[in-house]
Chain A
Amino acid sequence: MGELVVDKHVKYILSVEKRKDSFESVVLEHLRMNGAYWGLTTLDLLGKLGALDSNEVIQWIMKCQHESGGFAGNIGHDPHLLYTLSAVQVLALFDKLNVLDADKVANYISGLQNEDGSFSGDEWGEVDTRFSYLAICCLSILHRLDKMNVEKAVNYIASCKNVDGGFGCTPGGESHAGQIFCCVGALAITGSLHHVDKDLLGWWLCERQVKSGGLNGRPEKLPDVCYSWWVLSSLIMIDRVHWIDKDKLVKFILNCQDTENGGISDRPEDAVDVFHTYFGVAGLSLLEYPGLKAIDPAHALPVDVVNRIFFQKYTNISSRIHNLQNPLPTLTRRLFLPSVSGIWDALTGGNNNPREAVMAIRRGMLLFRQGDVLGSLVEFDKAIELDTRQKAYLWQRGLSLYYVDRFEEGAEQFPNRSQLYGVDEARKRFLEVGRDPRPVMREALSMFKDGGDPEKFATAFSNGQENEYFYASLYAGLYHEAQKEPEAAKVQIIAACRSPYGQRSDDYMASLAKVHCLCRNWSSD
């Protein structure tokens, strides 16, 4: 059996590209995009992605994109979800998702969703739960899941569940490990694994292990290395992977290596190919084989790539929000972001300034909470000096400026534009931001945008949860103030301060309410 012959596999993968004239590579020419994903992900798992010129790959990928936004399997072919996900995954491997017009790709994908929630693979209408997975995984990577109807998509997948716990390609279709991976993966990414009967499916999946240690894809079938991925990742996602014998499976995969020329085959002594090389290596990664990068069982990308995607998400949202100049200082994610921008420098060995800037911000926030608005400004300014990027995110500084009446500057930083321009003008300048999940925030947003009765608004939430009551009062007050109605503003903001949430919460906005009273010389006690 021996060990994983890493160098031989790397050599094999790199050589496949060079053998373009073989019959196999001509036959497979139309799915070169999948091949790129299999080969490159394998290289990354083996820690050898650097062996390749990424620019060349990326240029080729972009040549496969159609006007519709979808990607083809190769230049000149038609677009299809199968290749769109692979293209996006490869770009993610290289940290180059920014070369994409994500909305365009997302529109292509969401355009393929059918009325019943299912997905077609392309414009010709073939329906299959494989396509549901491709769409969901791809939109997740692009942070565009909101472009599709997730609930319907999940319900469609659930309708393909069988009495053996597995899933088929359409309702009534037989369970198959590959199909199960797609359905379980899609349910995992959408937080819907409660639709899976984990014990029943776990038993079905663990019985895929045959005597040789390998896994098959359906009962009474031969084992095949590719199921090391489909079955294993599904077992991992439902926390039942301990139900198989992992050591035996490791041995089976290693036995399928071509130890001479590299590459892995479906079964021992068969001809190797990139597809099985990827599934073998990915399987070993899921089995915690030493020396391999960990792979994420649902997104089918290395864990570090997935983590990068999900943390970058917050950075991206922050810059979008900033560009939109949202006048409501409540999108709490941004509080997290000043620190995030520093994280990457800290992780990638950047200078110390970003970290110190973060410290300064925290000191500034503390001073603000204590009512020292000017002191907080000094700290925020220091942070910007240390790390100029902070200026883009530092809405806390905007709030401080508001209270020292430096509106113009505050607007540049973070405006309550109504103070500056008057309510009507502020409304015109108001731009849509993403939908805030909290009803009170949505209502507040629409009041500031379209106008409304702040008293009615406050009353509407007076019986709501503590934090809703607090926010409703606070924003009603701020709205009154923007309309130059100081007395009404005072009543609402003091009510916010005195509310249980206003008194107890560590929320920055609770501090703000207190600071507001302080600055206006209102007694909130």
Chain B
Amino acid sequence: MHGRPRKAPKPEDLAAFSAKAEKLRILQSQFLSNHHQKIYTKEAVELSAKLLEINPECYTAWNYRKLAVQHSLFESNLDPDAVNSILNDELRVVENALRQNFKSYGAWYHRKWVLNKGHSSIENELRLLDKLQNVDPRNFHAWNYRRFVAALLNRSDEDELNHTQDLIDKNISNYSAWHNRSVLVSNLMKKKVQAFSQKDEVLIREYELVRDAVFTDEDDQSGWFYHLWLLDQTVKAESPLLTSSWPAHGSDITLSGDRYLDLGSSPFNTYHFDSGSLPLILYFNQAVEGVNVSTVTVSSGFNVNKDVIWKPILSNNSKTAHVWVGQLKFPKVELDSLGAYTLECMYNLPKKNQWMDLVQKKYHGEMKNFHIYEPDSLESDLVLPLDHLSIKNEHELSDSSWQEKIIDEEISNFRELLDCKIGKLTLARLLTARDALVSSDKSVHSEEVLRLYSELMKLDPPHSQFYKDEHSLILFEKVISGRESLLSYCFRYKNLTSSSSSNPICLRLNGLSLSRLGSFEKLLWVQMLDLSHNELRSIEGLEAMQLLSHLNLSKNKLGSFTSLESLRHLKSLKVLDLSYNEIGAHSVDTTKYLCSSPLCHSIGSEWDGSELVTDGVSLVSYWEAFFILKGLKLTQLDITGNAIADEKFTAFLAEVLPALKWLDGVQLN
């Protein structure tokens, strides 16, 4: 019952209803009896029409009519006049039914079914649709039907685009028309039809049109999503880019006797490894497939390329990934006996590759040497090449000036609309996109963008968390982007091991009130990360940080183990602090279907009995924890301060994680 007022019916109405109900009941039972006995006489078919006129949703009656049509088409010997009359009858019944209920799925489909029989009067359909769409310009079924008829008539996309234009001109707040426009314009651009072959020209035209909509009524959402789509079309890279790698392209690696890897004596890139191989990490700006020895060449001091097996870091059942990891194996020589090795890491990707175009737009430039400021350390003169000093590639960026021009134009337009939320939000997005176009490490507009998001949080409280997440992404990038800024968050633990110079740096991004993480491509080198005292609900994307060995997520808002899916891919992780989160405190798990589990039939989600280390009862109650943690070789874990962390649970953890030495600060036997 939609939109019908709640009131007790009057007695006289009650009687009328009851009579109506009785009549309908008799119709329905007569109809079902005809249907079961396959009676297709004129009377029987007429009865079903009467029924559908009152109750168009009675799907079985539409099925019956289809059977009846097939029956009479067979009887008619396909005489054209008879066929037309049979099909016309059906169209009439559908029209009557739609008059009763404009949203009847059964009626609309019946009409399509009739037309698919090759009915000749198809032009009438557009006229009928115009009438219907006049009454309800947003009707979902009518729009679907229009696309169906247009396809049957072979109408060109340009003609249909004109039709949407008419509707938009009539009422700029017709989201359905804007939607159809997006479909048609996409098609036309893809096909590079004459007026749509120049992408920038198309975009400029469309920006102008949609700006009218947004500026006419800033609360009307019709143009919002269209504008965002145009922005995406403006900045979207045509092909995937390799945004960063570890070790960086062209970096010199020294392997020293005690199995440390040293890249140019940099503490940022000191990496301790205990297997005979070194991870190589590639980070792409979009998920790609097909990274293997034939598409990526690694040249180094050793002739080891053929040994590298590239594996995607996958979630769910995707076949493509942002992050690919290869293991570089060393020759089987005792490192100890040889002292130091030098190895130069060079990645070469094919020049004309279908899936990638190796352009490092953001960080291209010469190697720069940085001095590190270490608040926590006495050694302050270390020379640091940051890992994202990368490739000066012959594939220079394609000319981006038209993009810059368009966005600058939009920025100046939207500066005029700052008294409403869509104005502020759009401006923030435009400025972010503008910064991304510039080939520098600095985001010129980040302060302004942060201010806009802060204002939005106050202006539109119901969606404040949305703006907060956007704010966090910008803030996070700002904090780790500039060299001075980054260095001010880098610390070194003094007494971790005896030789303090080889201690990895700890990146401490705690207490920044971050609700979301991003910019992982800049953090591939991090081995120790402190994200405590933030507002994180998820750590999606963290799987890119393959070198992580220590991770502090204490005092955040993590609500379940499934939100920690990324951890499953961090094979080097040894120390993990999850204390004082909200794990176990919620009845609704918002990441249940974003992780690999039996519920989503994902790869690797089968219970593997050979790894069974605990009793089934715990396994059933704690399956999420089991799935996330079972493959990790943690030596230290803190879980206290979570609703789930009772005695039973900690006992379970001790069983699942046999390598664990410390649990909540207590040494295990």
Contact = CB atoms under 8 A, between A and B. Distances in A.
B175 A220 contact: yes
Contacts of B105: 126
Contacts of A150: 601
B419 to A, nearest CB: 18
B267 to A, nearest CB: 34
B466 A288 contact: no
B57 A163 contact: no
B147 interface: yes
Contacts of B186: 163
B221 A172 contact: no
A258 interface: yes
A507 B610 contact: yes
A27 B55 contact: yes
B564 to A, nearest CB: 12
B603 interface: yes
A288 B113 contact: no
A265 interface: yes
Interface string A341-367: 011001100000000001000000000
B28 A26 contact: yes
B1 A266 contact: yes
B465 A271 contact: no
A78 B60 contact: yes
Contact of A334 (B592, B606, B609, B619): B609
B117 interface: no
A331 to B, nearest CB: 8
B600 interface: yes
Nearest to B315: A194
Interface in B1-38: 1-7, 17-18, 20-22, 24-25, 28, 32, 35-36
Given A80-B59, A239-B594, A332 B3 contact: no
B58 A206 contact: no
A449 interface: no
Nearest to A347: B617
Interface stretch (B138-146, B293-301, B351-359): B138-146
Contact of B225 (A23, A78, A164, A347): A164
Contacts of B7: 271
Centre residue among B55, B173, B605 by max chain A CB count within 10 A:
B55
A435 interface: no
Nearest to B422: A207
B463 A173 contact: no
Interface centre among A206, A243, A272 (most CB of B within 10 A): A243
A270 B175 contact: no
A202 B537 CA distance: 15
B380 to A, nearest CB: 40
Nearest to A27: B55
Given A26-B25, A29-B28, A332-B610, A258 B6 contact: yes
A314 interface: yes
B609 A333 contact: yes
A343 B3 contact: no
A340 B35 CA distance: 49
B611 A506 contact: yes
A341 B620 CA distance: 12
B442 interface: no
Nearest to A74: B60
| Dominant secondary structure of chain B at its interface with chain A | helix
Interface stretch (B363-371, B493-501, B582-590): B582-590
Nearest to B314: A194
Interface in A295-339: 296-299, 303, 306-307, 310-311, 313-314, 332-336, 339
Interface stretch (B119-127, B176-184, B254-262, B332-340): B176-184
A218 B138 contact: yes
Nearest to B25: A26
Contacts of A239: 537-538, 540, 563, 590-591, 594
A209 B462 contact: yes
Interface in A217-266: 218-222, 224, 236-245, 248, 258, 265-266
A272 B6 contact: yes
A149 interface: no
A271 B57 contact: no
Interface in B138-180: 138, 140, 143-144, 147, 173, 175-176, 179-180
A135 interface: no
A99 B378 CA distance: 74
A419 B651 CA distance: 43
B374 interface: no
Given A163-B229, A219-B175, A267-B3, A23 B20 contact: yes
A241 B287 CA distance: 25
Contacts of A188: 593, 600
B21 A21 contact: yes
Given A163-B186, A206-B463, A242-B537, A270 B63 contact: no
A420 interface: no
B30 to A, nearest CB: 12
A273 B605 CA distance: 40
A240 to B, nearest CB: 8
Interface string B45-89: 000000000110111101100100000000000000000000000
Interface in A108-128: 122, 124-126
A342 B590 contact: no
Given A163-B225, A174-B140, A270-B6, A336 B612 contact: yes
A77 B63 CA distance: 10
B151 to A, nearest CB: 9
B611 A170 contact: no
B608 interface: yes
A202 B466 contact: yes
Contacts of A270: 1-6
B225 A191 contact: no
A220 B220 contact: yes
A524 interface: no
A502 interface: no
B274 interface: no
A265 B21 contact: no
Interface string B557-593: 0000001000000000000000000000011101111
A457 interface: no
A190 interface: yes
B602 interface: yes
A140 interface: yes
A80 B60 CA distance: 10
Contacts of A335: 609-610, 612
A273 B4 CA distance: 11
B21 A22 contact: yes
A525 to B, nearest CB: 23
Given A194-B287, A243-B465, A125 B113 contact: yes
A342 B616 contact: yes
A164 B229 contact: yes
A51 interface: no
Nearest to B14: A22
A76 B36 contact: yes
A203 B144 contact: no
Given A270-B1, A272-B6, A288-B586, A220 B609 contact: no
B109 interface: yes
Contacts of B563: 239
Contacts of B197: none
A306 B182 CA distance: 39
Contacts of A164: 179, 182, 225-226, 228-229
Given A26-B28, A258-B6, A299-B599, 7 more contacts: A23-B24, A24-B1, A122-B63, A124-B62, A174-B175, A176-B140, A193-B593
Lowest 10 A-B CB distances belong to which pairs? A335-B609, A339-B616, A245-B462, A191-B602, A188-B593, A332-B609, A219-B221, A191-B600, A164-B225, A294-B587
24 contacts: A27-B55, A29-B28, A30-B58, A73-B59, A78-B60, A126-B105, A164-B226, A169-B144, A170-B144, A191-B601, A191-B602, A193-B316, A207-B224, A220-B220, A238-B594, A243-B465, A266-B2, A270-B4, A288-B588, A297-B592, A307-B620, A333-B609, A358-B615, A508-B610
